[in-house]
Structure 1
Amino acid sequence: MILWRFLAAVSFAVVYGDLNDNFDDFILRYGRPYIRGSPEYAYRMSVFNESLFRHRQRNSLAVNTWDAKFGVNKFSDMTQQEFAEQFLTNAIQDKDKYVYHSMTFNDSTLLYGTATCGMSLDWRKQNIVAAVRNQEKCGSCWAFSVVETVESAYSKKSGTNPQPLSPQQLISCEPKPADGCKGGDISLAMSWLVKTKTVVVAENVYPFNGGSGDTKPCITDIPQVGLRLLDFGKKNFQETEKSILEIICDYGPVSVAVDAISWQDYVGGIIQHHCPGGSLDHAVQIVGFDLSGPVPYYIVRNTWGKDWGLDGYVHIKYGDNMCGIAKEVVWVRDVEYVNEAENRGSSKHV
């Protein structure tokens, strides 16, 4: 394997230029500690080389000028296995038996409004979407996605600016089958919040500290000031993807589970293929859509930092269940502000 990587690196350098110089530029840009001449440098350069070949292969499949672009980013020195282990999670099996909120899977309760948003909608422009965050080495995308959708829902209803909530509270405190930095589920997390009437506090009250990949113990001795989820919806829309647009229009941004293994190399454009959605291994938030161009797409907020993709976002083609984006859609139907410190359990409903 090492010999193959070395020969591949040499052949790439002959055709495409000095691989060492390209890799050194990467090291400088992303602050890697690799020292030229060391075994680690050689190994990571070979991984980097494999990434370059993968970028070229995927870019060669482009069908139009709006297609996704793949290239060098902060993940280019990671193997696909390393990337999956650090940033993606395994789906929870038989999760229906863990659902606490009886309304979650009852289709009769999934009623949509009649709001009309036209051919495009971007909730960022309505100031109900907070800044892009970074889950770092913690497989906590599910927790970030849930708190982001809760905070956006309250911002939309109350007319106030979005206040970032604490993903760490869910990471550390939600019980099994959730597994902290090793993974969780967006619908189960919302179900747990409703059943336990948990008040999700602000991020500055319960800061994220799982960046190293370790799940920290739950802290309960915190002021009960924040948002309480009252009701939510969850449904598979593979056959009726248009309904996702209606929900986004009526309720605001939604949480979704996706297949993100091909996102490692994404740098821009609209993902239109090579993303089948067979395994849902990541959770994100859809904050809008644009159907006005030749390729309609969702606007998706990720949690890998602003230095990934389109300033932390990715565009996914609408209409083909691309990346499995329509399989598990979860949205907030009702949320309230709670300040038990002042009102001893009373709340402000909006």
Structure 2
Amino acid sequence: MRGGGRRVCAVVVAAVCALLLSPPCCRRVRSDETRHGSNVSAVHFDSFTRQFHRDYEADGEECHRRRRYFRDATKRHAFLNSFSTAPQSAKYGINQFSDLSQKEFRDLYLRASSDRAPLFSGPKTDRLPAKFDWRDRAAVAPVQNQLACGSCWAFSVVGAVQSAHAIGGSHVELLSVQQVLDCSFKNEGCNGGSPSRALNWLKQTGVKLVPQSEYPYKAKSGICHFFSQSHDGVSVKSFTAHDFGGQEEAMMGQLLERGPLTAVVDAVSWQDYQGGIIQHHCSSQWSNHAVLVVGYDATGDIPHWIVQNSWGTTWGNEGYVYIKIGGNVCGIADSVAAVFL
């Protein structure tokens, strides 16, 4: 990119970050006020509370505060969408997080960390297909919902293990995220963790992940439930972790050869994401959220990664987010792990 392009990009990112990180600013709007300037915000907030089953006391402080966060979110959406003018660009708007402050959102959902990974130095895969998606091969489990627990790091790891198990010839089976949450002692449960540390724990201990039905998800940290080595489950033999910065084509090859990949990204702007391909509004400097990269599509005007999130199917593209390939958008290539069973 030439110098002028870099300066424009820097200005955009700085402006977006300033907006995303600015302090939130709402008050309970009385019925008579909805006829005036607050009309649109009030009507949309009431619609939002019905859609997402919020039950706030009509004139309580909680409702007062949530309406304020909601109104700030609508302003933020307009700003973010002003940069998304190209076809297929990401769109930002109302979703299940629109009544959270930006700090609440970060504290609840963006709790992953990444360990420094070595630069990838392996060979590139020749003759990559223009499109590849592990969902087409029945190797990806359905989208899950971490709820109000910072367990994205565990969901991404378990997602990768589930897919590796399916690629090996088994049916896709939901394995226990709660087991990883409770037992991966080098991580902090709902307070956050690192996919690499979780994978290293699985490799070193030989712990077998049991079915989710035997160790169900509770969206809170608990006491580790141990199983005997004779108990049925799926164990991790090894894993690789690399930085694919500047080598996203090689990352495409790894996805093709190894299966879905865990990645730690900057997802601050994802609070407002509704769909489309993210090309802006992300840094590659602050890793805070773990996801599962399940495919890519380079057949259209904007080549992009296909990424499964753990915020339920009401978020994004039915639980998925698309991220432009090239430029390390959202830090998608900074810390990427593949699993071996």
TM-score range, shorter chain: 0.7 to 0.9
Residue correspondence of structure 1 range 113-124 to structure 2 within 5 A: 114=125, 116-124=127-135
The runs of 5 or more residues in structure 1 that have no matched partner are 97-103, 336-350
- 297, 316, 338: which one aligns with 1:290: 297
Unaligned runs of 5+ in 2: 1-22
Task: Provide the residue aligned with 1:191 in structure 2.
Answer: 200
Offset at residue 242 of structure 1 (A): 1.0
Equivalent position of 1:144 in the other structure: 155
Is 1:54 equivalent to 2:86 in the alignment? no
Contact in 2 for aligned 1:256/1:283 (Cα 8 Å): yes
How many Å separate the matches in 1 of 2:300 and 2:251?
19
Secondary structure (helix, strand or coil) at the match of 2:286 reads coil
1:248-327 equivalent positions in 2, closer than 5 A: 248-327=255-334
Partner SS state of residue 18, structure 1:
helix
CA shift, 1:239, in A, is 2.3
Greater share of strand: 1
Give the SS at the match of 2:262: strand
Question: Matched residues in 1 for 2:328 and 2:55: separation?
Answer: 40
Cα displacement (A) at 1:17:
4.2
Matched, 1:66 2:73: no
Q: What's 2:335 paired with? A: 328
Specify the alignment match of 1:348 in structure 2: none
Q: 1:79 aligns with which of 76, 87, 101?
A: 101
Asked whether 1:38 is paired with 2:60, we answer yes
Q: Secondary structure at the match of 1:225?
A: coil
- Give SS of 2:185's match: coil
Q: Secondary structure at the match of 1:287?
A: strand
- The 1:327–1:278 alpha-carbon spacing in structure 2 relative to 1, beyond 3 Å, is same
**Counterpart-to-counterpart distance in 1, 2:122 and 2:165:** 19
Distance apart, 1:154 and its partner CA: 1.6
From 125, 131, 135, the equivalent of 2:146 is: 135
Does the CA-based 8 Å contact 1:123-1:253 persist in structure 2?
yes
2:239 is aligned with 1:232: yes
Does the Cα contact within 8 Å between 1:116 and 1:249 map onto a contact in 2? Answer: no
Task: Summarize deviations over 1:144-176 as a string: whole Å, max 9, x none.
Answer: 100110110121122x32111111111101112
Q: Give the C-alpha shift of residue 201 in structure 1.
A: 1.1
Structure 1 pair 287–106 and aligned structure 2 pair: CA distance change class (3 A): closer
Alpha-carbon displacement from aligned partner over 1:10-39 (angstroms, at most 9, x marks no partner):
999856843222111111111111133333
Check 1:29–1:21 CA distance in 2 against 1; reply closer, same or farther (3 A cut). Answer: same
1:174 to 2:181 alignment: no
- Which of 34, 41, 46 is the matching residue for 1:19? 41
Report deviation, 1:137. 1.1
Distance 2:305 2:173 in 1: 24
Identity over aligned residues, as a percent?
Answer: 36
SS at match of 1:204: helix
Evaluate the alpha carbon distance shift between residue 113 and residue 205 of structure 1 in structure 2; reply closer, same or farther with a 3 A threshold: farther
- TM-score, normalised via structure 1 length: 0.84
User: Which region of structure 1 is more displaced relative to structure 2, 61-70 or 124-133?
Assistant: 61-70
* Structure-2 separation of matches of 1:15 and 1:237: 49
Size of the aligned set, in residue pairs, is 318
Match of 1:338 in 2: none
Write out the 4+ residue segments of structure 1 that deviate beyond 4 Å after TM superposition: 4-17, 104-107, 110-117
Contact 1:8 1:49 in 2 (8 A): no
The one-letter code matched in structure 2 to 1:284 is: V
Partner secondary structure for residue 312 of structure 2? coil
Instruction: Give the conservation status (yes or no) of the 8 Å contact 2:275–2:317.
Output: yes
Cα distance, 1:46 vs. partner? 1.2
* TM-fit CA distance, 1:80: 0.4
Contact 1:115 1:249 in 2 (8 A): no
Residue aligned with 2:282, SS = coil
Which residue in the other structure is 1:101 paired with?
A: none
Distance 2:328 2:173 in 1: 31
Give the secondary-structure state (helix, strand or coil) at the position aligned to 1:309. coil
| Residues 90, 201 of structure 1: alpha-carbon distance in 2 compared, 3 angstrom cutoff | closer
Contact 2:143 2:310 in 1 (8 A): yes
Are the structure 2 counterparts of residues 106 and 15 from structure 1 closer, same or farther at C-alpha, using a change threshold of 3 Å? closer
What is the CA–CA distance in structure 2 between the aligned matches of 1:227 and 1:113, rounded to whole Å? Answer: 30
